[in-house]
Amino acid sequence: QSALTQPASVPGSPGQSITISCTGTSSDVGAFDYVSWYQQHPGRAPKLMIYDVTKRPSGVSNRFSGSKSGNTASLTISGLQAEDEADYYCISYTSSSTLWVFGGGTKLTVL
Amino acid sequence: EVQVVESGGGLVQPGGSLRLSCAASGFTFSSYAMSWVRQAPGKGLEWVSAISGSGASTYYADSVKGRFTISRDNSKNTVYVQMNSLRAEDTAIYYCAKALLHWGAFDIWGRGTMVTVSS
């Protein structure tokens, strides 16, 4: 069982917006602004999409945005495109000795 | 180009050992913490281990503590993980990842190297 809770799957249609949640605790998501999101296509390495809750690395589309409220972080993808279909993982820095906790991943399906 | 490239994966019997390497280029290697993250077939990501830029501090997931040892050679821009007493559940793709300066995220990932533990 993963330390951070994500929905197993989220459906979306081209052009729509979807939000993926990532729920942790006051020791990780709620304690630090160090939540990051990763996109992983089948057979590929994860790619950083959002870091420090809201920041986008250079080259990542502005259709991707992040936010946080309390112990829950969220990734929003607007203007869904077929290429957005992938698995998405959240990671948070934590005060425990393990340093980071991972979400179980969310499969985004673009119908 | 900033990149990390893993090597050393393969098939090993239960109880055996393997050493993975991760060669980095395109950035000041000694300034950044590095980490290993694994993904079992069809499963999600699992953090395995991390090491500070100087190598003075190391961290491990409970699932590998006492069996895996992470190290780095800053003169060779390479990080290693020595994996001993391997179990079937260690079977996974092992990714090497570079951490941001504040350790809050992983911005560079390698393509991974597959480790299969089976008799």
Average pLDDT over residues B49-70: 95
Is the CB of residue B78 less than 8 Å away from at least one CB of chain A? no
Q: How confident is the model at residue B101 (pLDDT cuts 50, 70, 90)?
A: confident
- Taking the CA of residue A7 and the nearest CA in chain B, the distance in Å comes to 13
- Asked if residue B99 lies in contact with residue B31, where contact means CB atoms within 8 angstroms, the answer is no
Residues B84, B90, B96, B99, CA torsion sign: negative
- pLDDT greater than 70 at residue A48: yes
pLDDT of amino acid B99: 93
Is the CB of residue A48 less than 8 Å away from at least one CB of chain B? yes
- Taking the CA of residue B8 and the nearest CA in chain A, the distance in Å comes to 17
Average pLDDT over residues A85-95: 95
Closest residue in B to A45 (Cα–Cα): B111
Residue B1, token pair as written in the block: 């180009």
Closest residue in A to B51 (Cα–Cα): A99
Q: How far apart, in Å, do the first and last CA atoms of chain A sit?
A: 28
Is the CB of residue B64 less than 8 Å away from at least one CB of chain A? no
- pLDDT greater than 80 at residue A1: no
pLDDT of amino acid A99: 86
Average pLDDT over residues B8-35: 97
Q: What is the DSSP string of B29-78?
A: GGGS-EEEEEE-TTS-EEEEEEE-SSS--EEE-TTTTTTEEEEEETTTTE
Is the CB of residue A8 less than 8 Å away from at least one CB of chain B? no
Is the CB of residue A45 less than 8 Å away from at least one CB of chain B? yes
